[in-house]
Each structure stands twice: as C-alpha cells, then as structure tokens.
Amino acid sequence: MLCRARLVVRQPLRPAARRVYCTRWAGRRLAGSGTARLAAAAVAAAAVAGGGAVWLSRSQHIPVGSSLIESVVGDAGGGQAGDSEPGGAHADHSLVWRVGRVLGGMWEVVMTVLRGGRLLVCFVPVVLAYPTVWFGARDALRGGETAGALLWYRLLRAQMTRAGPTFVKLAQWAASRTDLFSAQLCLELGQLHDSNRAHPAQASRAAIAEAFGVASIDEVFESFDDTPLGAGAVAQVHRARLAREHQDVAVKVLHPGVESQINRDLRLMAWGARVLNMLPGMQWLSIPEEVAVFSDMMRAQLDLRVEARNAALFAANFAGRSGVAFPRMGPAVDSPRVLVEGFCDGVPLRAFLDTNGVGPFDRALGARGLDAFLQMLIYDNFVHADLHPGNILVALSPPFVGTPLDRFVEDFYDMSPFNREQ
C-alpha cells in the first residue's frame, strides 16, 4: 500500500525563453543529503516562484541597447529605434509626438539615474561589511560558518529585498545554486521565494476590476480574500470564489509600478554589463549576453497572458499523467496584469525538506519529481524554468494500491543517481 504524493506545480510561470541554459543545471549531478536530493529531483522536475518555461531549441541573440539614453528613449516612445514615423491621424502632430517622446525619454533618464543612486545606497553597505565574514565563532550546526558570515548573509538578504523585484529574482536564482554559493547563503536567500512585501489589497481590487471591465470585483467574485496567499517579486496571489461557477480560484496581480522599476533596473544592468565588458579579460564571460537573457525573461514576466498560455500547455502535457498536476486556467482575462487560475490546496514542498533522508515521502516525491522533469525535458521539450520549493505544493491522499506505472517510477528513482542511498 502506498500513500499517494501528488505534486502540484503552482504559480508563477515565466514565459518561454529560447535558451538552453537550463540544461546545464538539469543535467548536473545534484549533491546533498536526504531531501536536498529529494528537493533536487522534485525541484528539478516540476516538482522545485509562479515558474517559467524554456523551449529547448537553438538559442538566439538578444541585443542589448546601444546606450542607456537610446534604450530609455526607445522604451518611453513605445517602439523600437527603427520605428517609422507616425502616420495617419498622427502625421499632423508629428512634432508634438517627437517632443513628447524626447521629454519622456529625458524623464526616464533622470528617474533611472535616481534609481541607480538608490541602488548604491542599498549595496555599498553590503560591500563595506563584507570583511565581517572572516570574524566570529564558527557554528558547527550551520555549516561551520562564522558569526560574521551569517550576519552578512542576513544583511545581503535585507538589502536585496529593499532593492526591489529585479534583485529579489536574482536572489531567488542564487538560492537554487548550492554549487556556486554556500548552503547557508542559499538558505538565507531562499526566504525570498514567497515572503516578499505585499501591496495593498485595494490596488489588487482596482487592477482586477479594470481587467474584467467592471465597476466592482463583486460582479465577478462572490468572495475575495484581501490577505494575499503569498507575495512574490513581481506579483501577489489572492484566493477568491467565482460568482457564477462557485469555484475557488487563485488571482494573481502584478505589483503597482513594477514594470517601470524593473525596466530601469535592467537598463542599469545592461549599461553596467557593457562597462564591465570593456575591461581586459572580461569578454569571455559574455556578461552583456547574460544580462540580455535575464532582461528578456524579466520583462516577459510582466505579461501574465504569456504565463496563462504556458500554464495551459503544461496542464495539457500532464493531463494523462498521474502524480503531477498543474493548475487549470480560470476565466480568460485579456490583461497583462491579472491572471486567474484554479486554486490548488496542498503542503509547501519546503515542509518535506531537511529530513536527512529518512522522511516517509522522500522516495515518492523524488521519484515523481524526476519522472516529471524527464517528461518535460525529453518528451515535451517544454521545461518549467522556475523550479524552487515556493512553487511546489504536495497534495497527500489516503493509501492506495500502486499501479505498475507507479511502481516503475519509484524503482527507476531508486536506481537513478539522484538517490544517494543506493
């Protein structure tokens, strides 16, 4: 008899990015003990913010703007640098249109410079405080880290939070890279997966009403919980109940002003990457290209309609697969700021971590996680690209008689390199 462990992969889903960088992580032998492997297999699998999708096809170059001012003016004008002049009704007002575009670009330059000053205020203390990592008693229970290092990790997390959504996303990425950073730093930064600052409920209500074209959200929902279920870097999620279907749903709403803040951060990062690339010996790191990929994915997250399409495709791919489920989409909303999907109840995956390999569900979760990831990677060619514990829920059900497929999946996991107890 087996206790069914059903992995539910929830929001947020990032848009597809035509890069194969995820395969470097997916193909890496995952180290760690007990549930670090479980998390790795379950995390590596649609089973470990909300995640994205990566088409495993030939990568394409995403150009970085030629200069800070050009990119700002281009964004402020709402088109690419090579856009043709406005025609039709706008032709008679082309001078006004051009002046407005230039003034808008100048305003964005000023705001971007001010944003750069704020980031300096955030991170200069972090740089100055770095020498503290070499001082203090070592804590054997926390990986032998010094007291100063643990204090610096907390400072870094606090400043990354204050710096805003772009840097929270960077922290979330770093938290999943135990091969690059210390386990304690990853653990500290991992707190940013779904414990970010929430915006006022009134802002969510206004955005939802605008998206549905109604005066009040009471016309759409019979109940709406103003307290968010969780707040991510770029959006937060509320629980609601549809008035017509009487169905519980999760409503995702972008944070107010997040678009402009992220765009300014990405301009600064692109400019900084170009400056670093001018230094001798830095070209091999391809920093501008890496920043371009990150920028493309961050900007695409600001359109929740892309996430809705990805979620629908994941749900269709796993429709006939037991053990893993993706949320079904709710009423279609033609808005980049609001997404409605079926509500999934479950226990966060992090509750099953750190069991030192003796947890009763380690084998079931790891097996289903690995199986789901291999299906995405090999069979579907469409991979969830934000695999962290904040995006995984575990739904438990009473014991059941395992099918031949269930037994095969778990036996396959036992023989895989992810199972270090073999």
Residues linked to residue 347 through DSSP beta bridges, in sequence order: 394
Dist. CA 109–CA 422, nearest whole Å? 58
Distances (CA, A) of 101 to 7, 14, 42, 87, 135: 49, 30, 48, 15, 53
Q: Which of 204, 190, 176, 193 is nearest to 231 (CA)?
A: 193
Dist. CA 212–CA 210, nearest whole Å? 6
Q: Find the Cα–Cα–Cα–Cα dihedral 126, 132, 137, 141, rounded to 10°.
A: 30
- What positions carry a catalytic annotation? 386
Instruction: Spell out the residues 6+ positions from residue 414 whose beta carbon is closer than 8 angstroms to its own.
Output: 363, 367, 422
- Percentages of the chain per state (helix, strand, coil), in multiples of 5: 50, 15, 35
Where do runs of H (alpha helix) occur along 214-359? 258-277, 287-300, 304-317
Asked if 368 and 396 count as a contact pair (C-beta separation under 8 A), the reply is: no
Dist. CA 353–CA 365, nearest whole Å? 11
At residue 185, what is the residue type?
A: L
Asked if 238 and 251 count as a contact pair (C-beta separation under 8 A), the reply is: yes
Both structure tokens of 237: 């999620």
Residues linked to residue 69 through DSSP beta bridges, in sequence order: none
